């Protein structure tokens, strides 16, 4: 025979644990954010040479280089393009999100994050 009060208490506790487990990852902030919603303006002048390469060299290469401590490797334009979605959700800014998951020290000014979002939205042109 099941004692109703004891059973109800255990059920509430179990439901509370499940709810806590579902909410904890959302509060932790331990990963990339939302897509920025950046768009490519028709008059964009950002290129790999004028923006992408210097940005990656300044903020990403110390960790995301070939043989570096972090993945993905972002040493070439092709590697950057192949990872543009995660870069957008980790380090770029746009009308829908400002993502500062990367770099770990958060040292990128928002204006540069917005340029990154624009450059990626344009397909990371050379």
Same domain, 102 and 52: yes
State the pLDDT at residue 31: 84
Nearest CA to 101 out of 119, 113, 118 is that of 113
Q: Is 56 left (phi over 0), alpha (psi -120 to 50) or beta?
A: alpha
Domain that holds residue 11: 1-30
Same domain, 1 and 52: no
Q: Is 123 left (phi over 0), alpha (psi -120 to 50) or beta?
A: left
Q: Is position 39 within any domain? A: no
Question: 93: Cβ–Cβ under 8 A, 6 or more apart, which residues?
Answer: 36, 38, 99, 110, 113, 114, 116, 117
Same domain, 74 and 17: no
Q: Could you tell me the sign of the dihedral formed by the alpha carbons of 78, 31, 67, 46, in that order?
A: positive
Number of domains in the chain: 2
Q: Write out residues in the chain with pLDDT < 50, as ranges.
A: 11, 14-28
Same domain, 12 and 63: no
**Which pTM value belongs to this model?**
0.77
């Amino acid at each position: 025979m099941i004692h109703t009060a004891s059973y109800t208490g255990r059920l509430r506790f179990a439901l509370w644990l499940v709810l806590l487990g579902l909410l904890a990852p959302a509060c932790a902030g331990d990963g990339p954010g939302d897509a920025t919603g950046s768009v490519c303006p028709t008059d964009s002048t950002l290129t790999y040479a004028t923006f992408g390469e210097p940005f990656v060299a300044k903020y990403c290469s110390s960790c995301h280089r070939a043989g570096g401590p972090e993945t993905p490797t972002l040493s070439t334009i092709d590697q950057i393009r192949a990872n543009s979605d995660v870069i957008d959700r980790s380090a770029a800014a746009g009308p829908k999100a400002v993502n500062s998951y990367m770099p770990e020290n958060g040292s990128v000014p928002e204006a540069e994050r917005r340029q990154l979002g624009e450059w990626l939205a344009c397909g990371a042109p050379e």
